[in-house]
Chains A and B, each alone.
Chain A
């Protein structure tokens, strides 16, 4: 399973790109905020454009929060597949923080299913 390390940013950082034939499922997440500047709120977001349906003729890009956690400064949080159970991204899996912090590292493992 692939993984990627990113740092906290107020603009969504892509972890797993949208794949037409599958959904993206995070399998692990470690937030290393040991050297961070302050407590950080980290969210996993799902970005996708729905299909044209009988109810919506012109769908637009949609962003949905799928997971949210607060990492206390000086702490390292490790989340397993069990902790992330039920989190499923229909489109791109991205990570976003409440502030730009180059010392808050977020490692995300994921799979396409």
Chain B
């Protein structure tokens, strides 16, 4: 049998998950004045380097562990922030399956996922509010991570609160991090076209209105 496979009528191009060399990033005016070096500025990514880093945490049932991604020597600090002003860390986080949930705070004690009604604030001590804004392993699997964070120098601490659900004595949470180290150079007078193409990076406060 001889067959000529017809040309496809269209194809789908899936964009890369991580920032690549030559990509443009723009930091909005929502960034606080302490980040003047990047605030309302456009940067071109010059070099990228992906660094994988697995972090395990064994947590007893009903207890939680705060994982602080900022730099420092504290027990809960992971030291995964950049130290240079012209570096951006784009971090993907995926989880191996387990009986746990994660809550997100920037800075400590300030949830990213509250609703508008005053009482609708994530609270792991409450049987219902424990699940408000909670991310589970299936939301961002280890093999296909979907939680993405952007870290710059001196960013307020981003906290991931891991809570072990009932039904197990202990749970081992394995968080797989892929830290995409991006070296940036400022584009001094960006054109409209460059601004349109740029990946917009908002400050965490812009998620809370």
* A residues apposed to B, CB below 8 Å: 20-23, 48-56, 62, 64, 90-91, 113
Contact = CB atoms under 8 A, between A and B. Distances in A.
A22 B174 contact: yes
Contacts of B169: 64
Secondary structure dominating the interface of B: strand
Contacts of B174: 21-23
Given A50-B170, A52-B75, A91 B58 contact: yes
Contacts of A21: 54, 56, 174
Interface in B29-63: 54, 56-60, 62-63
A22 B58 CA distance: 11
Given A62-B170, A64-B170, A54 B66 contact: yes
B101 to A, nearest CB: 14
B170 A53 contact: no
Contact of B60 (A20, A55, A113): A55
Nearest to A52: B75
A113 B54 CA distance: 13
A56 B62 CA distance: 12
A48 B58 contact: yes
B96 A50 contact: no
B204 interface: no
A64 B58 CA distance: 13
B66 A23 contact: no
Contacts of A50: 58-60, 170
Contacts of A64: 169-170
Contact of B56 (A20, A53, A54): A20
Contacts of B76: 52
Contacts of A49: 58
Given A62-B170, A90-B170, A51 B65 contact: yes
Contacts of A54: 63-66
B118 to A, nearest CB: 25
B172 interface: yes
B189 to A, nearest CB: 46
Nearest to B169: A64
Given A62-B170, A90-B170, A53 B54 contact: no
A113 B64 contact: no
Of B76, B169, B170, most A-chain CB atoms within 10 Å = B170
A21 B170 CA distance: 16
Given A54-B64, A55-B60, A20 B54 contact: yes
Contacts of B59: 50-51, 53
A51 B58 contact: yes
